[in-house]
Amino acid sequence: MKIKDIISVLEEMAPLAYAEDFDNVGLLVGNSETESTGVLVCHDALENVIEEAITKNCNLVVCFHPILFSGIKKITGKNYVERAILKAIKNDIAIYAVHTALDNHSQGVNKIFCDALGLVNTKILIPKQNFIQKLVTYTVPENAQKVRQALFDAGAGTIGNYENCSFNSNGTGTYKGNSESNPVIGERHELTETEEIKIEVTFEKHLQSKILKTLFANHIYEEVAYEIYDLQNQHQNIGLGMIGEFETEMDEKDFLLFVKNKMTADGIRHSAFLGKKIKRIAVLGGSGSFAIKNAIMAGADAFLTSDLKYHQFYEAENQLLLADIGHFESERYTKNYIVDYLQKKILNFAIILSEENTNPVKYL
């Protein structure tokens, strides 16, 4: 099995198009055409993790955080990033990062976070914007079902919990072909009027080339009329953070002790107790201070995230309990999810969970 075959599975789990624009995801180091000897899954692809991959005969390291995040002009081994990259290159180890591609997935980082806490009725906290497009096309009635079904199979027509969604309206199409034309209906140089069906479907924008290729392959016309529009609609199943509920409410202190235990956190920084019960909880794995207002607007009793600064605790505005449980801790079970996913998709192949603890934050 080549590394590119494993990458295909990883992109099914976390499509790179879901990642934030600032992020650096995908294959960071290595050649996708190389035969893979095994996969080591980790949180951070540090030098000791690369050494672990060498020891365990894994030439692909799948990490959550990208070891290469910002621009780099030299690789001299002067810092932890360069040392990890040098060791990987010297030993033909490929590195692939998922990061916000998995953050934004409805079954990704924040769903894993919610599941660890036992939250129910979960939904995306900040739905992704500017990610949906609409295709409008026209064809004769006898071709309409074939075109629609092919578009559905290519990924179009999914809205929330519904599939095969489209809008269809009847009308009359007109055209007149020139001497170079080869009309399926009518003759060259003659004005043709024919009954047509207008088909409208939405799709995720990264599927555009696939959708158009499918349209052209299944449409009977020589020249296919179509339009594509960018929609302002939010994508309710893709986005950052998540909100859910406990089946039974808790006192604030009991809630934080529960979170500390479930997420194996060595310490939790939090805003002032408000003397209210905790039932509705917003979560955002990693650095989530930007989402405090979103959590408040969503009616959360508490917001769990990490990397909060001193003044950001004031932003709780006595409306919710704000808790920083630690960056690593909030994403703790992500690598376990990746291993489980790969093992279910790729049978009889070495998919190994890293034993290295790469959390750089320690507590007394």
Indicate the annotated binding residues.
65, 103, 327, 331
* Radius of gyration for the chain, computed over Cα atoms and rounded to the nearest angstrom: 25
| Contact call for residues 225 and 137 (beta carbons, < 8 A) | yes
Residue 323: which region, alpha, beta or left (left: phi > 0; alpha: psi -120 to 50)?
beta
Can you say whether residue 155 is alpha, beta or left, with left for phi > 0 and alpha for psi between -120 and 50 degrees?
left
Q: Phi and psi dihedrals of 196, rounded to 5?
A: -135, 160
Q: Which residues pair with 229 in a beta bridge?
A: 134
Contact 348, 38 (CB under 8 A): no
Ramachandran quadrant class, 356 (left: phi over 0; alpha: psi -120 to 50; beta: rest) = beta
The total of other beta-carbon atoms located within 10 Å of residue 117's CB is 16
* In the block, residue with structure tokens 């064809």: 139
Annotated binding site for a divalent metal cation: 65, 103, 327, 331
Which neighbouring-strand residues pair with 280? 245
Compute the distance between CA of residue 280 and CA of residue 299 in angstroms, rounded to an integer: 7
318 Rama sector, left if φ>0, alpha if ψ -120 to 50, beta otherwise: left
Q: What is the distance between the terminal CA atoms of the chain, rounded to a whole angstrom?
A: 45
> How are beta strands 39-44 and 351-353 bridged, if at all?
parallel
